[in-house]
Amino acid sequence: MTSVETSPGATAGQTTPGLWADLRGDGTAMTGVVFLVLLLLVAIFAPLIAPHDPEAQNIIARLKPPAWMDRGDWAHVLGTDHLGRDVLSRLIHGSRISLIVGAATVALAGGFGVLMGLTAGYVGGRTDNWISAVIDTQVAFPGLLLALMILAVVGPSTMTVIVVLALNGWMVYARVTRGVVLSLKHTAFVEAAGLLGCSTWRVMLRHLLPNLSAPLLTLATLEFARIVLAEAALSFLGLGVQPPATSWGLDVAQGKEYMFRAWWLVTFPGLAIALTVLAINLIATWLRVTSDPLEREKRFARRARPAR
C-alpha cells in the first residue's frame, strides 16, 4: 500500500493570522469598527446619555451656538436649534433611526433577495427565467422616483421608509447570490453533494449558503451604508421620518432655513451622517479584501513591496 503523503507546506495553513488579528493590523478598518461600536452603544443607551430631552423646546435658549463660542453654554454643548432643542441630544437620539432603518432594511431586502437569488440560481430553468425577468425589470425602474411616489401616496413614516427602501434594494442581493450560485453550481463539490443524495434544501443551505457568506457580508455592509444615506436624503426631503421623531436628515432640513445664522444646525447632523457612513464603508472595504483569500494574498504582497 502506498504510504501517506506528508505535506508540511499545507498544514502550516493553521498558523495564518485570524480575522481579529488581521483587523488589528489594519488601522483604518479598526477605526471604523471602534466608531461603529461606540455609535451602537450611544444608540442603545441614548436616553441615559443624552443631556436633554431631544424634543424639549426652550424658546428663550433658541439658536444658541456651541459651547466654545461666544454666547455658548456648556448646558448645550453643540448649541440649540430654532426651537431651543439641544442639538447634541437630538444627534444622540437620531443615531437610533439611522441604525434601525439601516439594519431593518438590510435584513428585509437581504433576506428576500438571497432567497430569490438562491432559488433562481440553483433551481434554474423557467424559475430562473421568471425571477431574472422580474429583477431585470425592476432594476430598470426609476427606483427613487417610484419610491417618492409610494411615499406620497401612502404617507411617509419610518415604517414606510424601511419598506420602500427594501423594495428598491432586494435586487442587488438576488443578483449577487444568483451569480455566485451559478458559478458554484457547476463546481464539483456541489455536483457531488447532489449525486450523493443530498436534497435540494440541503445543498442550498449546507453547501451553497456557507460559501456565499463572504460576498454577502460585504454586500450587506455596503448596502447598510447606502441605506443610511438614503434614509437621510428622504428625511431631508420631508418624505422620510416625520417630526416629532428625530433623524439626522430631518435635522439638516430644519437647520437649512437657519444655515446662514446658525451653521451648527446643518454641520453637526451632516457630519454625523458622513462619519457613520464612512465608518461602515471602511469596514466594507476591509471585509471585501479580507474575506477573499486571493485578494488578501495580493494585498499582503503589495504592502510588502515598498520594503524592498
Grid look-up 434554474 returns 124
Q: Which is nearer to another protein, 41 or 200 (CB)?
A: 200
Q: Which is nearer to another protein, 49 or 275 (CB)?
A: 275
Q: What's the CA gap between 231 and 253, in Å, rounded? A: 13
Q: What's the CA gap between 156 and 147, in Å, rounded? A: 11
Residue 155: CB minimum distance to another protein, A: 8
Q: What's the CA gap between 119 and 178, in Å, rounded? A: 8
Q: Which is nearer to another protein, 38 or 137 (CB)?
A: 137
- Residue 247 is classified by DSSP as -
Residue 99: CB minimum distance to another protein, A: 16
Q: Which is nearer to another protein, 42 or 203 (CB)?
A: 203
Q: How far is CA 87 from the centre of its chain?
A: 25
Q: Which residues contact 81 (CB under 8 A, 6 or more apart)?
A: 62, 63, 87, 90, 251, 254, 255, 258, 262, 265
Q: For 209, how many CA atoms within 13 A lie in the half-sphere containing its CB? A: 13
Q: What's the CA gap between 114 and 208, in Å, rounded? A: 11
- Residue 306 is classified by DSSP as G
Q: What is the DSSP string of 153-218?
A: HH---HHHHHHHHHHHHHHHHHHHHHHHHHHHHTSHHHHHHHHTT--HHHIIIIIIHHHHHHHHHH
Q: Which is nearer to another protein, 50 or 278 (CB)?
A: 278
Residue 57: CB minimum distance to another protein, A: 24
Residue 48: CB minimum distance to another protein, A: 28
Q: Which is nearer to another protein, 60 or 140 (CB)?
A: 140
Nearest alpha carbon to residue 32 among 224, 173, 212: 224
Q: Which is nearer to another protein, 49 or 270 (CB)?
A: 270
Q: Which is nearer to another protein, 56 or 69 (CB)?
A: 69
Nearest 5°: CA angle at 209, between 123 and 178? 45
Cell of 221: 455592509
